[in-house]
Amino acid sequence: MGMKADVVIVGTGAAGLFNALNLPRNRKIIMITKADLESSDSFLAQGGICVLRNEEDYDSYFEDTMRAGHYENRKESVDIMIRSSQDIIHDLIGYGVEFQKAETDGEEERCGDRVPLLHGYAFTREGAHSRPRILFHEDVTGKEITSKLLEQVKQLANVEIYEYTTMKDIIEEDGRCAGILAEDADGIEFEIRADYTVFASGGIGGRYKHSTNFPHLTGDAIEISKKHGIRLEHLDYVQIHPTTLYSEKPGRRFLISESVRGEGAVLLNKDGKRFVNELLPRDVVTKAIREQMEKDGTDHVWLSMKNIDKETILKHFPNIYEHCLEEGYDVTKESIPVVPAQHYFMGGIWVDSDSRTSMENLFAVGETSCNGVHGANRLASNSLLESLVFAKRAAGKIREKFDIENK
Ligand SMILES: Cc1cc2nc3c(=O)[nH]c(=O)nc-3n(C[C@H](O)[C@H](O)[C@H](O)COP(=O)(O)OP(=O)(O)OC[C@H]3O[C@@H](n4cnc5c(N)ncnc54)[C@H](O)[C@@H]3O)c2cc1C
């Protein structure tokens, strides 16, 4: 048994879906996912997606991204991401994605928005951002974006999607990628041959005991790349998120979005005292929490939302509110226990600024790739944006290659 496509995309998160949407409509595309269509980290993103608010914000956004990344970022990639951000938001709105609108003129004014496209939207702020520049949809921004992209892809006649189908290897011929070896839910292996292969297979959290990621995200594309001598970069750059809800139950850790701290929540030690500036970059806050836990001899610290009014909590963070309530905590009345957990992988399969890997005909996009945007530490809410920007660029490059071949 075997299949043939023009492009095979491994992964149906935001990166894979956006790649498919930007590929030529007259080309056959096969997408596979290891689980069901809604089980990707893209569905879990809470806080939001960054955008360049206006020209005056460019330097500050660039500097925030670089500073958070310890200046190890590839500057060219950061520039591309920031410069492409408004186009991407424009695309998303065109696909029906809804972002929170500003409620009052005062709020708009405070945001200083001068770009017509972004006029009227509300912006939130997260750690290490020097100003609010994050668009959001309640605290389920990833679900809003990814479900709308999925709806669009499902309507494409040239795209076939296979769930519960796992990439086990690539097909390497004369040093080029000629497709993948897949396995279906019954354990049957088959080839999917394609002119171009796109890895969009997400992060590595499934390899950790405590992670906010889906457990099936185990960095398969990275392992396969290693086996084939495909260039990898910064495999040790793993982000630990400072605030996940502490639980003794096994399984995925529930994230308490950084935008909760951006809106005023504070971290407290066992005596109810603050011990860190909550809006410092993630790695710095994580370190401070770990040191505090050691000092206090505890398994967690506390997060208090008492500085945020109840109405804002219910409106901006309904998902977090509900989840905490199910776990026995009313965040409008009491502090919640939080602990750092694995969250994001900055390293991955080395790609150039068009998402090409070191192997011909093989591309990598989204969290599995490393285009250097995030340096050694990702700035909050840059991930969805980066995934979309570079998935679109990969599609553009593939389109170009098809055009050249047709000449
Ligand atoms: C709880 C949480 C909150 C977050 N909040 C934000 C936020 O507010 N803003 C932000 O910018 N970022 C956020 N992020 C990060 C962001 O969601 C991810 O980095 C991004 O969505 C990654 O997209 P992706 O398409 O690369 O991967 P994913 O969305 O994870 O998709 C990976 C896909 O690959 C498939 N796959 C994996 N291995 C295989 C295989 N071997 N064979 C076949 N298929 C395979 C999976 O089944 C899945 O379909 C958050 C992440 C988490 C976990």
2-30 pLDDT tens trace: 999 999 999 999 999 999 999 999 999 99
Sequence-separated (6 or more) residues with CB below 8 Å from residue 158: 25, 26, 27, 28, 29
Q: How far is the CA of 312 from the centre of ligand 1 (A)?
A: 27
Q: Is the CB of 85 under 6 A from ligand 1?
A: no
Say if 399 falls within a structural domain. yes
- What percent of the chain lies above the pLDDT cut of 70? 96
Segments in 164-269 forming alpha helices (H): 220-227, 258-262
Q: Is the pLDDT assigned to residue 247 strictly greater than 60?
A: yes
Whether 130 and 44 share a structural domain: yes
Name the residue range of residue 353's domain: 2-160+346-406
Task: Specify whether the CB–CB gap between 314 and 260 falls below 8 A.
Answer: no
Whether 154 and 248 share a structural domain: no
253-272 pLDDT tens trace: 999 988 899 899 999 999 99
Q: Is the pLDDT assigned to residue 138 strictly greater than 70?
A: yes
Segments in 37-101 forming alpha helices (H): 41-44, 58-68, 75-94
Whether 63 and 12 share a structural domain: yes
When pLDDT is averaged across residues 61-85 and rounded to a whole number, the result is: 97
Q: Is the CB of 34 under 6 A from ligand 1?
A: yes
Amino acid at 106: G
- How far apart, in whole angstroms, are the C-alpha atoms of residue 324 and residue 257? 13
Q: Which helix (H) or strand (E) holds 3?
A: strand 2-10
What is the reported pLDDT for 116? 57
- 238 closest CA partner among 341, 308, 101: 341
140-172 pLDDT tens trace: 999 999 999 999 999 999 999 999 999 999 999
Which of 19, 37, 40 for a ligand 1 pocket mutation test, highest count of atoms within 8 Å of Cβ? 40
Indicate the pLDDT class of residue 110, thresholds 50, 70 and 90. Answer: very low
Whether 8 and 116 share a structural domain: yes
Say if 80 falls within a structural domain. yes
Strands 301-304 and 159-162: unpaired
Would you call 27 a catalytic residue per the annotation?
no
Q: Is the CB of 35 under 6 A from ligand 1?
A: yes
Q: Is the pLDDT assigned to residue 114 strictly greater than 60?
A: no
Q: Which of 342, 370, 395 is the last residue of a domain?
A: 342
Say if 198 falls within a structural domain. no
- How far apart, in whole angstroms, are the C-alpha atoms of residue 250 and residue 399? 44
- How far apart, in whole angstroms, are the C-alpha atoms of residue 33 and residue 12? 6
Closest ligand 1 atom to Cα of 142: 17
Q: How far is the CA of 155 from the centre of ligand 1 (A)?
A: 22
Of 74, 125, 253, 282, the catalytic one is 282
Indicate the pLDDT class of residue 210, thresholds 50, 70 and 90. Answer: confident
- What percent of the chain lies above the pLDDT cut of 90? 87
- How far apart, in whole angstroms, are the C-alpha atoms of residue 276 and residue 282? 12
Which of 17, 41, 150, 256 for a ligand 1 pocket mutation test, highest count of atoms within 8 Å of Cβ? 41
Residue nearest to atom 31 of ligand 1 (CA): 13
Closest ligand 1 atom to Cα of 385: 11
Task: Specify whether the CB–CB gap between 335 and 303 falls below 8 A.
Answer: yes
When pLDDT is averaged across residues 310-329 and rounded to a whole number, the result is: 95
41-65 pLDDT tens trace: 999 999 899 999 988 999 999 999 9
81-97 pLDDT tens trace: 999 999 999 999 999 99
Say if 233 falls within a structural domain. no
Task: Specify whether the CB–CB gap between 247 and 327 falls below 8 A.
Answer: yes
Sequence-separated (6 or more) residues with CB below 8 Å from residue 261: 126, 127, 243, 267, 278, 279, 303
Q: Is the CB of 46 under 6 A from ligand 1?
A: yes
Say if 333 falls within a structural domain. yes
Closest ligand 1 atom to Cα of 254: 1
Higher per-residue confidence, 104 vs 98 = 98
Say if 199 falls within a structural domain. no
Q: List the CATH number of the domain containing 247.
A: 3.90.700.10
Strand partners, 191: 2, 181
Q: Is the CB of 391 under 6 A from ligand 1?
A: no
What is the reported pLDDT for 111? 41
What is the reported pLDDT for 25? 97
Q: Which of 324, 342, 360 is the last residue of a domain?
A: 342
Task: Specify whether the CB–CB gap between 211 and 205 falls below 8 A.
Answer: yes
Indicate the pLDDT class of residue 127, thresholds 50, 70 and 90. Answer: confident
Could you give the 3-state DSSP secondary structure of residue 26? coil
Q: Is the pLDDT assigned to residue 113 strictly greater than 50?
A: no
Whether 117 and 148 share a structural domain: yes
When pLDDT is averaged across residues 126-144 and rounded to a whole number, the result is: 92
Whether 333 and 364 share a structural domain: no
Whether 337 and 353 share a structural domain: no
Q: Is the CB of 51 under 6 A from ligand 1?
A: no
Q: How far is the CA of 109 from the centre of ligand 1 (A)?
A: 34
When pLDDT is averaged across residues 375-391 and rounded to a whole number, the result is: 96
When pLDDT is averaged across residues 294-312 and rounded to a whole number, the result is: 96
Closest ligand 1 atom to Cα of 384: 11
28-39 pLDDT tens trace: 999 999 999 999
Closest ligand 1 atom to Cα of 201: 34
Q: Is the CB of 16 under 6 A from ligand 1?
A: yes
Residue nearest to atom 13 of ligand 1 (CA): 45
Q: Is the pLDDT assigned to residue 298 strictly greater than 90?
A: yes
Indicate the pLDDT class of residue 80, thresholds 50, 70 and 90. Answer: very high
In 10 A of CB 104, how many CB atoms?
9
Whether 356 and 327 share a structural domain: no
Q: How far is CA 371 from CA 61, 247, 278, 302, 374, in A?
A: 18, 34, 28, 35, 8
- How far apart, in whole angstroms, are the C-alpha atoms of residue 274 and residue 406? 63
Q: Is the CB of 66 under 6 A from ligand 1?
A: no
Q: Is the CB of 12 under 6 A from ligand 1?
A: yes
Joined together, the tokens standing for residue 366 give: 């989204």
Say if 33 falls within a structural domain. yes
Q: How far is the CA of 310 from the centre of ligand 1 (A)?
A: 31
174-191 pLDDT tens trace: 999 999 999 999 999 999
Per-residue DSSP letter, 297: T
Which of 165, 198, 201 for a ligand 1 pocket mutation test, highest count of atoms within 8 Å of Cβ? 201
Whether 10 and 138 share a structural domain: yes
Say if 180 falls within a structural domain. no
Q: Is the pLDDT assigned to residue 197 strictly greater than 50?
A: yes
Q: Is the CB of 239 under 6 A from ligand 1?
A: no
Q: What's the chain's average pLDDT?
A: 94
Whether 330 and 369 share a structural domain: no
- How far apart, in whole angstroms, are the C-alpha atoms of residue 322 and residue 304? 16
Count of domains for the chain: 2
Closest ligand 1 atom to Cα of 12: 49
Whether 129 and 25 share a structural domain: yes
Annotate 155-185 with b (16+ C-beta within 10 A) or e (fewer): eeeebebbbebbbebbbbeeeebbbbbbbee
Q: How far is the CA of 104 from the centre of ligand 1 (A)?
A: 34
* DSSP state string for 141-190: HHHHHHHHHHHHHHT-TTEEEESS-EEEEEEEETTEEEEEEEE-TTS-EE
Whether 335 and 352 share a structural domain: no
Q: List the CATH number of the domain containing 18.
A: 3.50.50.60
Q: Is the CB of 124 under 6 A from ligand 1?
A: no
Q: Which of 342, 373, 392 is the last residue of a domain?
A: 342
